[in-house]
Amino acid sequence: MIVTPSPKQLEWQESELTMFLHFGVNTFTDQEWGNGKEDPKIFNPIDLDARQWVQVAKDAGFKYMILTAKHHDGFCLFPSKWTEHSVKNSSWKNGKGDVMRELSDACREAGIKMGFYLSPWDRHEPSYGNSPVYNQYFKNQLEELLTNYGEIAEVWFDGACGEGPNGKRQEYDWAGFYDTVKKIQPDALIAICGPDIRWVGNEDGVARETEWSVQDPNPVFHPNATSKVWYPAECDVSIRPGWFWHASQDSQVKSLDHLVDIYFKSVGRNSVLLLNVPPNNRGLFADPDVKRLAEFRQFLDKTFSVDLALGKPAIADSEEFLASNVTDGRKDTYWMPKDNKTTGFIEIDLQKPVTFDVSMVKEYIPLGQRVEEYSISAYDGREWKTIVNGTTIGHKKLDRFSPITANKVRLDIKKSQYPPQIRAFGLFKMCD
């Protein structure tokens, strides 16, 4: 059976860029992990402007924003009725503020999808470690977040399970947490410790060169699955050394080259990039982060605005669906060989010598991920040269290589689990 994504998984995968916002009492204590003993009054982002966050994200091409509604310290960025350890006892807006409200409103206005991170580990809540009581507490807070802030596109569950204030550990009711989410917001994707989106396995923003969206089910996250599941990877990484803002790291924002490399190794390897951009203690994105994101967007626009293969004639050794579909720029067409063949090639005539150093191949993933091995060759008028040897493709595979000038290129599908369905084959020149 061919495993395929749900419509919401497909929409998420096509977003490619999502943004994490680590924000809370740690922003004011200069810590990465709080201990739950912080005085809520220290939280006072006097210039907080969620619209600035959203505008910066939108301008940079990000489609989802995920806020740490509660990190491990237990402090809530929303006025939860289930705890006093929240914004309602902070100095900010005399306890009348609600970061979740401000961000969800700003996202809705701008057409950005909203999500939240809610840490199961809670170093403040006294019931943590008393499994039934704390699990109900956690579900109560989930209900608040899922009920009061409009559509939620992604719920992000961290797997950290340390000790609570009583020295005890908690046994999480994952099935109950999922039921709570799906009951209130059935279209929300549950990420990381959840059934819909998989953690890539590192915090460097880097996917594997061979990255399958089809995975064996996790017995905890997919308890009822009897076969493989669609479980795509999300690559999380921070724009800074830390996840929370620290003044000392204003000079340590990742370079443009580093961010570009991350993009090619995440989005360009069949994954979604979740880039953390932490608001500062004024409640704004810091200037160095804003500047770098603008440079990042400019690089992507300059590099990918012109597809050198778009509209060019294409042929194949076999066509159930036309080879020219890979250069038509559409999302709903693809090439497939005849007679259930699992190998084949597409050749594009560039019609003149063209110089490029990036290739892009996309499968038509609404009908599954299929390709196991491929190569790309270029013809310079004298001979064919292999420039790429690759494995999986999926939603998008980007390959970089030394600049080459050619008038024809060929994509050779060498191995595929089912007849390959190639949606796009593009060529680009990286901007200087």
- 100 found inside a domain: yes
Final residue belonging to a domain, choices 304, 326, 346: 304
Q: What is the CATH number of the domain that holds 350?
A: 2.60.120.260
- 284 found inside a domain: yes
Domain membership of residue 389 as a residue range: 314-428
- 1 found inside a domain: no
Q: Do residue 55 and residue 107 come from a single domain?
A: yes
H-assigned helices in 239-319:
256-266, 287-304
Per-residue pLDDT of the chain (432 residues; tens, 9 = 90+): 899 999 999 999 999 999 999 999 999 999 999 999 999 999 999 999 999 999 999 999 999 999 999 999 999 999 999 999 999 999 999 999 999 999 999 999 999 999 999 999 999 999 999 889 999 999 999 999 999 999 999 999 998 877 777 777 889 999 999 999 999 999 999 999 999 999 999 999 999 999 999 999 999 999 999 999 999 999 999 999 999 999 999 999 999 999 999 999 999 999 999 999 999 999 999 999 999 999 999 999 999 999 999 999 999 999 999 999 999 999 999 999 999 999 999 999 999 999 999 999 999 999 999 999 999 999 999 999 999 999 999 999 999 999 999 999 999 999 999 999 999 999 999 987
- 296 found inside a domain: yes
List the helix and strand counts (H, then E) for the chain. Answer: 8, 16
Please tell me the total count of domains within the chain. Answer: 2
All residues at 6 or more sequence positions from 224 whose CB lies less than 8 Å from its CB, including other chains? none
Whole-number Å distance between alpha carbons of 201 and 216 = 15
Q: Do residue 171 and residue 227 come from a single domain?
A: yes
Whole-number Å distance between alpha carbons of 240 and 251 = 9
- 334 found inside a domain: yes
In this prediction, residue 159 carries a pLDDT of 83
Q: Do residue 104 and residue 11 come from a single domain?
A: yes
In this prediction, residue 300 carries a pLDDT of 98
How far are the Cα atoms of 39, 190, 306, 372, 375 from residue 425, in angstroms, in the given order?
Answer: 55, 31, 13, 16, 12
DSSP symbol at 270: T
Q: Do residue 273 and residue 396 come from a single domain?
A: no
Q: Do residue 390 and residue 318 come from a single domain?
A: yes
In this prediction, residue 161 carries a pLDDT of 77
In this prediction, residue 166 carries a pLDDT of 77
Q: Do residue 384 and residue 359 come from a single domain?
A: yes
Final residue belonging to a domain, choices 269, 304, 339: 304
Q: What is the CATH number of the domain that holds 224?
A: 3.20.20.80
DSSP symbol at 193: S
Q: Do residue 20 and residue 159 come from a single domain?
A: yes
- 2 found inside a domain: no
Final residue belonging to a domain, choices 249, 275, 304: 304
- 174 found inside a domain: yes
Q: Do residue 338 and residue 258 come from a single domain?
A: no
Q: Do residue 262 and residue 396 come from a single domain?
A: no
Q: Do residue 295 and residue 390 come from a single domain?
A: no
Q: Do residue 294 and residue 366 come from a single domain?
A: no
Q: Do residue 84 and residue 230 come from a single domain?
A: yes
In this prediction, residue 1 carries a pLDDT of 86
In this prediction, residue 167 carries a pLDDT of 76
In this prediction, residue 250 carries a pLDDT of 97
- 309 found inside a domain: no
